[in-house]
Amino acid sequence: MAKPKWATPIRQAHLLRLWSEYGNRCLLGHRACPDPSHYVHLEAKRSIVPIAKPFRCQDSHGSPILDSEGKQAYGTAYAFLTDTVYEPVIIRLYDLKSEQIIEVWKAEDRAERKALAKAERKALHSLGERRYPLRGQFSAIGKDIFYPSQPSHYVEGLGISGLTFEPFAKVRIASSYMRLFVELGDTLKGVSKSKRRKAVRYGKALPVQVQRRIEELCRLAVRQYLDNR
């Protein structure tokens, strides 16, 4: 049986660590728990619910259609609404945590594949030429002024590591497809949960001081990478 794409050696090792920590524990963390209710987890699922809506029957001229008793005839139309239902599932603590972290890994892989596909399309449509000014190429002095002023890297986004659950920044080296994943430590510790979520999911701006600290960490990581090449 082929391994799933997310099952890299590092991730498999992390699942082994999860198993050694949680093993057969119940959802409350008890080892060899005798209470079956401690293994019941309410799993959210999307469900389509039909809603019946009666309507008056009319002919093509707008006149009411009567039934056999001479009363107004009614028909029924159905509208479908999406609702969330919670189903009880028997599961261990390890299974619950492993499923959650696997979903995070799959989302990270999808984002990575999307970014690589975008970079490949950009490369295929590029002529491989330097972006000089429209009015001719730089002079020697112009090059000396232009190139040193260009950024050495670009921060493409923030994320949460599926291994350490710590924030990181995804950084692309300028004029390269090489990307670094820079650990941010406790940089986001003073930021509210809502702002952290918006920054990770939607790329919203963080407070100025936090943004400067992230830029400094990324700059140091890029410098260290370039110096060790």
Question: What pLDDT score was predicted for residue 152?
Answer: 79
The CA–CA distances, whole Å, from 219 to 61, 112, 194, 213, 216 equal 74, 22, 26, 10, 5
- Cα 37 from Cα 35, distance rounded (Å): 6
Per-residue pLDDT tens digits of the chain, which is 229 residues long: 677 888 888 888 999 999 998 888 999 999 889 999 999 999 888 888 788 888 888 888 888 888 888 888 888 888 888 888 888 999 999 999 999 999 999 998 898 888 888 887 877 766 554 554 545 555 666 556 555 667 778 888 888 887 778 888 898 888 777 888 888 888 888 888 888 888 888 888 888 888 888 889 998 988 888 888 7
Question: What pLDDT score was predicted for residue 165?
Answer: 81
Query: Which stretches does DSSP call E strand in 35-188?
Result: 40-56, 74-90, 153-160, 167-173, 179-183
Say how many residues make up the chain.
Answer: 229
Instruction: State the sign of the Cα–Cα–Cα–Cα dihedral 107, 113, 114, 119.
Output: positive
Is pTM, for the whole model, over 0.85?
no
Question: What pLDDT score was predicted for residue 129?
Answer: 47
- Closest to 73 in 3D by CA, of 51, 55, 93: 55
Say if strands 40-56 and 167-173 run parallel, antiparallel, or are unpaired: unpaired
Question: What pLDDT score was predicted for residue 1?
Answer: 63
H or E stretch including 21? Answer: helix 9-22
DSSP tag of 174: T
CA atoms within 13 A on the CB side of 7: 9
Question: What pLDDT score was predicted for residue 98?
Answer: 92
The CA–CA distances, whole Å, from 120 to 1, 8, 114, 115, 116 equal 31, 23, 10, 9, 6
Question: What pLDDT score was predicted for residue 146?
Answer: 56
The two tokens of residue 182 are 């820079």
- Cα 67 from Cα 124, distance rounded (Å): 68
